[in-house]
Amino acid sequence: MVGVDKKKLSDILKKAAEKKEEVKKTKPTVSTKPKVSAIPKTPAKGVSSSAKASLEEYKKTKKVDTSAKQAEVLKTKTHQDLINAVYKVADELKVEGGPWPMLRAAGWGNFTDDRGKLYKGPIIDDLEGLTDEQKTALKKQLGI
């Protein structure tokens, strides 16, 4: 190379490489995982009344859907199906006294009189004599 000092050029290239290494070492690492915050189940303060109304409407719709599904499934069940489900739930939850207290609490104490009859009573959620835990387990047992 004409008119270029090779030693000077070599020093410049060496310094550039050192700076590049220095930048790599000091470069902060950035997390690629986005932060996800939990969505509150109830609207926060300052949420518009229309948003609250929409949430309430959604909850009502969901409950109606659940109630309709329960009614649809229950009308296909016989008294014996419900007795069997209560026996399994009572065993699962270790209900004191076995299944009979649950059957009576649900108002189903007379189901043994006509075991093959289709159920025509209220949905599980509307049975006042059962606990929420018993209702949930019973719905699960019945496939609701």
Over residues 10-37, the pLDDT tens digits come to: 788 788 777 776 666 655 555 565 555 5
* SS3 label, residue 74: helix
This model's pTM is above 0.75: no
Strand partners, 118: 78
Q: Tell me the CA distances in angstroms from 90 to 25, 54, 84, 106, 107, one per residue in order.
A: 64, 39, 10, 13, 15
For residue range 61-116, what is the model confidence (pLDDT) as tens digits? 655 567 889 999 999 999 999 999 999 999 999 999 999 999 999 999 999 999 99
Residue 87 within a domain: yes
**In this structure, what DSSP letter does residue 76 have?**
T
Residue 107 within a domain: yes
Identify the domain containing residue 128 by its residue range.
Answer: 79-144
Residue 120 within a domain: yes
Residue 63 within a domain: no
Give how many domains the chain has, as a whole number.
1
Residue 8 within a domain: no
Residue 121 within a domain: yes
Residue 131 within a domain: yes
